[in-house]
Every structure is written in C-alpha cells, then in structure tokens.
Amino acid sequence: MSNQSFGELGVSRAVLGSLAQQGFTHPFSIQSAVIGDAIAGRDVIAKSPTGSGKTLAFGIPLVERVAAEDQRPAALVLAPARELARQIVSDITEIAHARALRVTAVYGGAGLVKQARDAATSHVLVATPGRLEDLLKRGAFTLEHVKVLVLDEADRMLDMGFRPAIDRIVGACPSERQTLLFSATLDGDAGRTAQRYTRDPAIHQQGPRERRANSKVDHRFVQIADPAQRVEALINELDCDRELALVFVRTKHGADRLVKQLAARGHTAVAMHGNKSQRQRQRALANFQAGIVDTLVATDVAARGIDVERISHVINFDPPADSETYVHRTGRTARAGRSGIGITLVAPDQRHDVAALASQLGLTHGLEQSSTRPPEQGSQRPASAHHDRTKPVPAHQGRAKSAPAYQGHAKSAPAHQGRAKSVPARQGRAKPEPAHQGRAKSAPAHQGRTKQRPQFGAR
C-alpha cells in the first residue's frame, strides 16, 4: 500500500466516493506509480505482476479521461481472454457509473447481435481481439473515436498469437490517442511492441527486474512415486485446512476426467475450459466464487482473468510447461497483499524439468533427491499459519485413507508456518500375497477401506 491517497493522485471526487464505498482508500504501488501520469494524459508502459492491482491502475485514469458526452466507444481495453474481460468490467463498472459512463465487454461464446448493440452505445469497451475484429468486420461500430487504448496482459496476448489482430486494431484507432500498456514482462517482443504502440511513454516497473514468483505464495513441490498416485496426492492436498482451491490441468479432456475422478472419491469439483459454453463457464465460476463448490479445475487459457479473493490454494495437477505459466498460475492466489499456497505435483519423469523451472524462478524445491519413499506414519508437515481453523470432515467422507506413496512437501522457506499436520494413518486395507518376488501389490484405492462415522468441527 502507498502512503498517498487517491485524491493526491488527482482522482475526482465522484470516483473517490465510489472507491471509498468499495473499501479502497489508499492505492497499491502500481496504482500510485501509474495513475498520476495517466490522468495527466501521458502514455504509460507498466511492468507489473498479476494480482498487483493493475486493473484500477488503468481503470481509474480511463474513466477520468472519458466524458459522458463523448462519442462512443471512447475507450478500448484489449484483454487476452473472456474471463479477464468480464473481470475488468466487474472491477471498473462502479467507478465508471460514478461518472455516468457505460461499460461493456465483448468476447467469443456469446451472442453477436446483443454484443454489437451494447458495444456501439458504451463509452468503455473491453474486448478480446478475435471477437472485436468480428464486430468491426460486420460494421457494428468503429474505433475512430477512441481516446484511450489499454492493452492488458500484452505479453500473454502476443504469446497466444494475437499480434496480427492487435496490429490491425491499433491501426483502426486514432493516431492521436493515449495508450496504456500493461505486461508481466517487457523483455523481447513485449518490450518492442510496447515501444511501437506508445509515444514518449512513462515507464513504471513493479516487482523484481528478473522474473520471479510471488513471494507471498508458499511454493511447495510434492513428489509422487507413480503417476497413478497423482489423484490420491491431489485429494490429500484438498483434504487440508483451506478455503478455495484452483487446480490446473494441461488439457480440456483432462479437466473433465479429473472432475469425474474426484467425484468418485467424494470430492465435488467443477471444470472450466474452452469446450464449455459461456453460460457453463459463468455458472462454474459463480459457484466457485460463492463457495458452493470449493474446487475449480481449469486449463490455463480458461483461467485467465480469474480473480477470486478466497483462493487459498493453487495446485498444479499437471506441472506448467514454463516459468511464465507457473507465475501466472500461482498468481491466482496471494492477490492484493494476501498470502496463499502453490503446490505442484511432480512425477519422477517430470522432476528434472520442474526443478529447472523452480530454479529459474529462484524457488527452493528439493527435487534433486532421487528417493520417492513415502513419509513414515506420524511424520509431520508444516501448514500455513493463515489457515488455522479446524476443517470438518465432510459428510460424504469418513473412509480411512492410505498414506500416499509420495514424499512430503519440498518447499521454499515460507513466510508463515503454523500447526503441523500428521499424515493420515493406513486403516482397513488388506494386503494380498505378493504378486512377484520383492514387491507386494497393494489393493486398489477403492477397496478395503473401513467406513467411519464422520466427524464435524468448526470451519
């Protein structure tokens, strides 16, 4: 938080009142850095990590520089995914209404006719590049009156192949405009693009110069001896004391399959990915945000823009492909000054790649060890101090669980440590005769469990 007030940055009384009603009294660092320059009309290039409060950093100047009587649309915000577009609209609608401005989002998966009608009559248009080009080609409106252009998560849009579309959209905007560009990195193509789209910009960089994971996240790496144990390892994490958990998988099919596997083991989850309709995605996110379902399984693209305060755990069921994806995934927790936990499940054949990724981000991971011996019963593992409430055993549980065949958490030194949690004891599992010399074959995970009366406690 900054010691400055929003008023000292030049924010109008109307917008100050709206911010106060929402509980915002002092700006975050990126907001303090950007808002003054942007309200003054300067182009801005800002490097800021996800979850830093950047939406209001461009949202406040945007609504201050657009007037209710301006021809529409007067401001355009480009975002890489529909969830992010919808989140931006949610974040800036109240301050826009304080200045009698209308805000609309356009994105794929929703009706073209209604979006075209709403966009043509809105002061502020938030759009994904593909759907915006569809509407422009249909002649639904033009961008000739755009005074303020914002590119949010510019690096991700470039990574997703939107460069040609963005060039055409920027070309359709007036040359005499203000441009605000936000990116998690300004290296390579993102930096060159930022310079090409702006004129004499004010440049602000928040966070470390090198790409690093959020220091407020307790990063943990859980080694599993066998990929077949991955679901059981996930369940072990979901059974800990937590709030909401966001689970990342690599594919759309994998998301649906994991939801079914969790349901078979008594855990309710919902999936969110590109094959779901917009209504299904909105319903899944709404149920997750309300806590009706406390586990959301998502692919990387579908999770763009998810901003839910109560996400305490981000779990990489499938490890990310690169360090940038890791940062974006774990950035869904520990947002706006909060803390959180990021967990990555690592099979033996993934150990080398994940270790390299973690080292690149400066994370202690302990993945050089070759042993995958399960922890002894009664061993303890630290849990975060910010989750110190006792979690009840849900009514559908009560089966004794076997100790998973993977190692405990290898993790970077957390900023918070709390109570120790013991590994569940093995109960009720009968072992058959060894299938061959030197190795005993365990019973399937769904057999031999002794049912117990569920216990209830305060959550």
Which residues does 161 contact at the CB level (< 8 Å), separation at least 6? Answer: none
> Residue 357: what pLDDT?
93
Query: pLDDT of 249-270, one tens digit each?
Result: 999 999 999 999 999 999 999 9
Query: pLDDT of 33-68, one tens digit each?
Result: 999 999 999 999 999 877 778 999 999 999 999 999
Burial class (CB in 10 A: 0-12, 13-18, 19+), 47: buried
Comparing 49-58, 100-109, 120-129, 250-259, which segment has the lowest mean pLDDT? Answer: 49-58
> Residue 159: what pLDDT?
85
pLDDT band at 373 (very low <50, low <70, confident <90, very high): very low
Comparing 163-172, 270-279, 343-352, 371-380, which segment has the lowest mean pLDDT? Answer: 371-380
> Residue 223: what pLDDT?
95
pLDDT band at 376 (very low <50, low <70, confident <90, very high): very low
> Residue 369: what pLDDT?
52
CA quadruple 206, 216, 327, 212: dihedral positive or negative?
Answer: positive
> Residue 212: what pLDDT?
67
Sheet bearing 44-47, strands edge to edge:
103-106, 124-127, 75-78, 148-151, 178-183, 44-47, 202-205
CA quadruple 313, 407, 214, 318: dihedral positive or negative?
Answer: negative
Q: Which residue has the higher pLDDT, 448 or 112?
A: 112
> Residue 381: what pLDDT?
40
Residue 73 preceded by cis peptide, ω within 30 = yes
Q: Which residue has the higher pLDDT, 254 or 403?
A: 254
Query: pLDDT of 174-183, one tens digit each?
Result: 999 999 999 9
> Residue 419: what pLDDT?
41
Strand partners, 46: 182, 204
Residue ranges of domains in the chain, CATH in brackets:
7-205 (3.40.50.300), 217-388+402-422 (3.40.50.300)
- Quick check: 316 pLDDT over 70? yes
pLDDT band at 305 (very low <50, low <70, confident <90, very high): low
> Residue 302: what pLDDT?
67
- Quick check: 379 pLDDT over 70? no
> Residue 188: what pLDDT?
83
- Quick check: 374 pLDDT over 60? no
**193, 154 contact by CB (below 8 A):** yes
> Residue 76: what pLDDT?
98
> Residue 423: what pLDDT?
39
Among residues of the chain, what percentage have pLDDT more than 70? 77
Query: pLDDT of 213-253, one tens digit each?
Result: 778 899 999 999 988 899 999 999 999 999 999 999 999 99
> Residue 211: what pLDDT?
58
- Quick check: 199 pLDDT over 90? yes
- Quick check: 314 pLDDT over 90? yes
Q: Which residue has the higher pLDDT, 137 or 396?
A: 137
pLDDT band at 113 (very low <50, low <70, confident <90, very high): very high
> Helix/strand/coil (H, E, C) string of the chain?
CCCCCCHHHCCCHHHHHHHHHCCCCCCCHHHHHHHHHHHCCCCEEEECCCCCCHHHHHHHHHHHHCCCCCCCCCEEEECCCHHHHHHHHHHHHHHHHCCCCCEEEECCCCCHHHHHHHHHCCCEEEECHHHHHHHHHCCCCCCCCCCEEEECCHHHHHHCCCHHHHHHHHHHCCCCCEEEEEECCCCHHHHHHHHHHCCCCEEEECCCCCCCCCCCEEEEEEEECCHHHHHHHHHHHHCCCCCEEEEECCCHHHHHHHHHHHHHCCCCCEEECCCCCHHHHHHHHHHHHCCCCCEEEECCCCCCCCCCCCEEEEEECCCCCCHHHHHHHHCCCCCCCCCEEEEEEECHHHHHHHHHHHHHCCCCCCCCCCCCCCCCCCCEEECCCCCCCCCCCCCCCCECCCCCCEEEEEECCCCCCCCEEECCCCCCCCCCCCCECCECCCCCCCCCCCECCCCCCCC
Rounded CA-CA distance 221/315 in Å is 10
> Residue 187: what pLDDT?
82
> Residue 207: what pLDDT?
60
Rounded CA-CA distance 205/216 in Å is 19
Among residues of the chain, what percentage have pLDDT more than 90? 59
- Quick check: 384 pLDDT over 70? no
Average predicted confidence (pLDDT) for the chain: 82
